[in-house]
Structure 1
């Protein structure tokens, strides 16, 4: 009976603390940063969350003193409290625990974080929101001993209003972070990247008025590059019948709207003399939205992206996407990348390589990457970690995937650089998987009909002729761009036979090779038929690139990958030693020979 009661309470708790609408453009709002050193407690048995009957402390009205989120202190010398955040060690937020503490390098489980803070220029008439760039994977968030909410998903932002619990001084914020992998999660148990745990992106307090601008979308209308359309959504008791102004000063546009009872206004208006954003002209306009008590300024580019037969058209002109795949790791410091400096290093290398396009794999990267790509003129493929062995028939798993997709689109829908939403990577075909991915694609198109839909599919040789490669996947009929990973010469086939490979593709859509490559240990040199040598990787690129260029409808490639990245799957010593070695740059920042092969290929593309 106790188990039933505790389960019901836990269910009520989860429903009560559902995700709140995401604040649009928190990136450019002024806020109070909570980055820095936080105290932490490693809680392998989740003692701070469950009692010895495995009943959650926050599912009861009177949680015991062992509930870590209460931040209890002994009241006298006989009082028993078996934890002390203030005596606990500290680590840096944002950051992962794996790279900061050697004992936690392989750790997967629960770590509690605690930060004490005062509110700068506190104003009791204002509303206060707590915003997280990302926490991997599940975050239970408590302020001053009370639960603010729960977020599931390791790579997307979330926020909670905390006005009702906040004080001017002596606040304490506690976050239970759990990065354990599970079969019903997204991603699931098996991945080919490091499961970095922790509060991995910025934590910020935002002070807002009683009615404020919560969300907006401002983009060119689909199929009409002479018209801007979108919406503005307010939040607050007085959100209805509010005057809203939108201006784009450089274009001499000033528009006035009135919200409906729900605080929403949709709009469309013509634009003239527009300089379209592109990889060669990354033009961003200052866009201002204001109401009586709130104002937001953003930098927005305007462009069209569409397909016509086997071509991808940017602003109506055919474009070839010279790309590279990227994982979100800091190659010098080690660990999860998160800062604008990290983004400058990674995208700077992509530019040096000759790229106008990157695939951000296999999960949403931090907003610094997207904002910087906007400024640099780098087109972007973004995806969610629907990867390999997802539970296709599990409704809750689907909901988690759609939530992550929604949070990604909500965050980046105004970024011109973002041109492709990817639904999945290397997932095995089945009827159930087709339904799962088709529903995701439908959800994406409802949220944003101005970008392209794709997924990294797989190819294989025909039974009667292994030199003829085909893609047999019904999801290819759903996507706008046919993308697939191919590793001929590495995971199968002989490298000296690559020149004889050809593809039969009977679908009239553009083709992007979303992955190809070979592993190489930087600094290891041998003849070009010796696996793991730089020369072998170089030869594979030399043979593969001209072969791919012959594919009918080829519109882009993103070889795997820019930089070596950590993966517990890669155990071969001395070549892998815990790293996926398919990078063109080593984890120490040294370029391999294949880097220059791809660079030369891109230089010669007209």
Structure 2
């Protein structure tokens, strides 16, 4: 086995379901730049520890007066029917400024795990030929979304975005949106219930009403290919996607790529890379404006171009060896009472401390996908990134449902950030115990990474083994997943966890197996 150890970081089962069968909501790349409106701001909230907003005492549908998502004026109903039994009125409930974990709403919610209802109103007026989506960057952990009292959809997973089409649910004028957020971790969920850091229940990242044409650009992946050409994969969504003309422009390079989408609504475009192309690197994080056009839709992004590969025991960035110097970061803003309110200023402060304060060129965003704000800033600031999904520790590796969840999260994470030049490594797991179900589970995720993105490297943080040889501790890595990875990372805590005194650490040896 060849070791490709980029950084030493502290911090018989058959799988037959094809990647294309893994359900995914629209990506809506760069939703922050699309037409529509930001729904951040004042929302009212109502705690629901017994989930009576979902069902009655005998599992019957929730009754009138308990359904927080009903589009009705409680005041008007109770005036007309004084005997109406309403236990809750979202219009008179406490208010919070979102996005924000609910531990910041009220000190009493610091350790609450369960269901919380959020509600607000917004104005909308769709024109003919337009579609509308509600896009949430992250809701932890499960979300049930209602628009004007009707179900819009559900999502499970606390760290990846999801979009729900609400074109037919909107009214011209004032609209009500209600979100039931349940932070309860599930035994067959991703991540599993056990953790030793705060995962923050609530609507923790921005949300937006996105307005698109009937057929629109859902995703545009623009990159420098291994053969040195520029390539673009443009995915359209809509009834008229097949055969539609697509054009990708990079004005800073005087480059235009054009072609037609196939029957699946996907256009594959390529062109020779201009001689003046400046490759992205930590030393020179050059980004280019990219414009994607298809019919009435126009999507913009800022993209860096670079190559990554492994050769022998080295990682090559733009054909040259790079040594990764970095740390693991959790998604927490500086301050005494973080509430996962990651703003551009907050993310910049974190990344600046790593880059300038610690001389890092690399950050591991542990142990879940971090905000889009963070990965875009890493592009701008010149930091290489390890991006990870929350498959850690006691995941139910035997459960098909859990595997489907993990595959969906991985696909959503990759599709969200494929244009981020800073991302060098897709990680499929952290500290998972070796076993046949686990090996098959993670091997499937590795296959998915390679199918979705051949321009980056795949990794995982692995556990080590320890034994005593000639009176001295010997650490080794004996994990069959290692042979499937481009880069190996070992989490080791000698002198931190365990009984080793600090002065014994230098005597610990490592052996590759």
TM-score (norm 1): 0.77
Structure ranking higher on relative contact order (CA contacts 8 Å, 6+ apart): 2
Task: Determine if contact 2:280/2:304 at 8 Å carries over to the other structure.
Answer: yes
CA distance in 2, matches of 1:292, 1:160: 23
| Alpha-carbon distance, 1:238 to partner | 1.8
Q: What do the CA deviations read for 1:44-97 (whole angstroms, capped 9, x no partner)?
A: 10011111212454xxxxx74532221442243232222100111011110000
SS of corresponding position for 1:98:
helix
CA distance in 2, matches of 1:289, 1:442: 29
SS of corresponding position for 1:487:
coil
Matched, 1:248 2:250: yes
CA distance in 1, matches of 2:168, 2:466: 61
CA distance in 1, matches of 2:250, 2:423: 21
Match of 1:373 among 350, 372, 378: 378
SS of corresponding position for 2:454:
coil
User: Would you tell me which structure has more strand in proportion to its own residues?
Assistant: 2
| Alpha-carbon distance, 1:243 to partner | 1.6
Match of 1:161 among 165, 169, 172: 165
Task: Determine if contact 1:186/1:385 at 8 Å carries over to the other structure.
Answer: yes
| Alpha-carbon distance, 1:152 to partner | 0.3
Matched, 1:469 2:471: no
Aligned to 1:290: 293
Detail structure 1 runs of 4+ shifted over 3 Å in the superposition. Answer: none
Q: What do the CA deviations read for 1:78-126 (whole angstroms, capped 9, x no partner)?
A: 322221001110111100001221010000000000011112x643442
SS of corresponding position for 2:512:
coil
CA distance in 2, matches of 1:439, 1:148: 31
What are structure 1's unaligned runs of at least 5 residues? Answer: 1-17, 58-62, 507-606
CA distance in 2, matches of 1:256, 1:454: 34
Matched, 1:20 2:18: no
Match of 1:304 among 302, 307, 322: 307
CA distance in 2, matches of 1:131, 1:299: 21
Aligned to 1:228: 230
Matched, 1:357 2:357: no
Matched, 1:213 2:212: no
Matched, 1:130 2:130: no
- Which deviates more, 73-82 or 295-304? 73-82
Matched, 1:329 2:335: no
CA distance in 2, matches of 1:56, 1:414: 44
Task: Determine if contact 1:19/1:151 at 8 Å carries over to the other structure.
Answer: no
CA distance in 2, matches of 1:116, 1:209: 23
Alignment of 1:128-527 (within 5 A): 128-221=132-225, 223-224=226-227, 226-273=228-275, 274-332=277-335, 333-352=337-356, 353-465=358-470, 466-492=472-498, 493-506=500-513
Matched, 1:29 2:34: yes
CA distance in 2, matches of 1:260, 1:397: 33
SS of corresponding position for 1:420:
strand
CA distance in 1, matches of 2:289, 2:260: 22
| Alpha-carbon distance, 1:377 to partner | 0.5
| Alpha-carbon distance, 1:235 to partner | 1.5
CA distance in 1, matches of 2:285, 2:36: 27
| Alpha-carbon distance, 1:330 to partner | 1.5
Matched, 1:68 2:68: yes
- Which deviates more, 181-190 or 374-383? 181-190
Task: Determine if contact 2:233/2:268 at 8 Å carries over to the other structure.
Answer: yes
| Alpha-carbon distance, 1:497 to partner | 1.7
CA distance in 2, matches of 1:434, 1:291: 42
Classify 1:55/1:484 alpha carbon distance in 2 versus 1 (closer, same or farther; 3 Å): farther
TM-align CA RMSD: 1.5
TM-score (norm 2): 0.91
| Alpha-carbon distance, 1:20 to partner | 2.3
CA distance in 1, matches of 2:60, 2:445: 35
CA distance in 1, matches of 2:452, 2:309: 17
Q: What do the CA deviations read for 1:450-495 (whole angstroms, capped 9, x no partner)?
A: 1111111122333425432211111111111110111111223221
Aligned to 1:6: none
| Alpha-carbon distance, 1:19 to partner | 4.7
